[in-house]
Amino acid sequence: MLHIELKQIRVTFPQPEGGELLAVDRFDLQVQRGEFVTIVGPSGCGKSTLLSVVDGLVRSSSGQVHVEGMLVTGPGPDRALVFQEFALLPWRTVEGNIGLGLELQHKLSSRRIKELVLHYINMVGLQGFERHYPYQLSGGMRQRVGIARALAVNPEILLMDEPFAALDAQTREIMSVELLRIWEQDKKTVLFITHSIDESVYLADRVVVMSSRPGRVKEIIQVGLPRPRGLAIKDAPEFVRLRRHIWDLLEEEVRRQVDGKEDRA
């Protein structure tokens, strides 16, 4: 069932010296309910901008985004954004950060909020850290809090903007495994931006490769690897082939970027 549809998305930004910078151009994508889609592309190709358009934080210059057939005109409770920088409130504990969105909704009793918060603490493996503050947590633990906070409001769509980029390599791999474990439980629809080719293939049902700026769909790659997946799948011949193919596509775009063949509006 079609869940998200991006139609001919075009985003421009005004420039200090005049004129406009064309960030995203003629971007089309359809995402099915429960699908995990990763997006990769050269730096500055508009990946984060595109995610903000889907969330409703940025309005496209032209084109439309539909969620379940409804036009996106702003942020909504059906979508939750997970940032790279954790974005936790330092004066709130793990419990307090995870429960923040639920409190702001003013729909549930404090008792029910506490029950849900404990449920998601268990889901992301933070038992025993309920009353810790962000400064008392590792980077991976802080990112778990961010994911749990997004899940707690029960969105239909998770928008994840390079959520593991600030983590060390080992923690990043562990978090990828954990994210798939969590996703397998209720199959939220996920749009996940990453610079890591390995991460993009490991997580996804499909990988969207973007061109250098202005960001367009260069190729959409179906990942036919079986689920559930463990890290050992990265040694499989098909994984290696997909990684090589995506690398070749990105290398072509990076060379184009270095050669200065980017467009302006």
Among the listed ranges 1-15, 34-48, 80-94, 132-146, which one has the minimum average pLDDT value? 80-94
Asked if pLDDT for residue 264 goes beyond 60, the answer is no
High-pLDDT (> 90) share of the chain, % = 69
Within-domain flag for 254: yes
Asked if pLDDT for residue 170 goes beyond 60, the answer is yes
pLDDT at 42: 93
| Domain match, 111 and 67 both | no
* Better-predicted residue by pLDDT, 37 or 139: 37
| 12: confidence class by pLDDT, cuts 50, 70, 90 | very high
Within-domain flag for 176: no
| Domain match, 69 and 101 both | no
For residue 262, the SS3 value is coil
| Domain match, 150 and 163 both | no
DSSP string, 154-167: --SEEEEESTTTTS
Q: 16: domain CATH number?
A: 3.40.50.300
- In 3D space, the residue among 58, 76, 127 whose CA is nearest the CA of residue 98 turns out to be 127
For residue 133, the SS3 value is coil
| Domain match, 99 and 127 both | yes
Domain encompassing residue 138: 84-154
Within-domain flag for 73: yes
pLDDT at 71: 96
Beta-carbon contacts of 242 under 8 Å, excluding residues fewer than 6 positions away, are 201, 207, 221, 223, 225
| Domain match, 7 and 40 both | yes
Cα-flanking dihedrals φ and ψ of residue 155, to 5°? -75, 155
Cis peptide before 214 (omega within 30 of 0): yes
| Domain match, 163 and 251 both | yes
| Domain match, 56 and 120 both | no
| Domain match, 99 and 141 both | yes
Within-domain flag for 177: no
Q: Whole-number mean pLDDT of the chain?
A: 92
What is the C-alpha to C-alpha distance for residues 111 and 167, in angstroms, rounded to an integer?
34
| 263: confidence class by pLDDT, cuts 50, 70, 90 | low
Express each pLDDT in 192-217 by its tens digit: 999 999 999 999 999 999 999 999 99
E strand spans, 194-232: 206-210, 217-222
Within-domain flag for 145: yes
E strand spans, 136-231: 157-161, 189-193, 206-210, 217-222
Q: Are 113 and 66 in contact (CB under 8 A)?
A: no
* Residue 238: DSSP 8-state: H
Asked if pLDDT for residue 236 goes beyond 90, the answer is yes
| Domain match, 58 and 163 both | yes
Q: How many domains does the structure of the chain reveal?
A: 2
E strand spans, 88-201: 157-161, 189-193
Express each pLDDT in 78-98 by its tens digit: 999 888 776 889 999 999 999
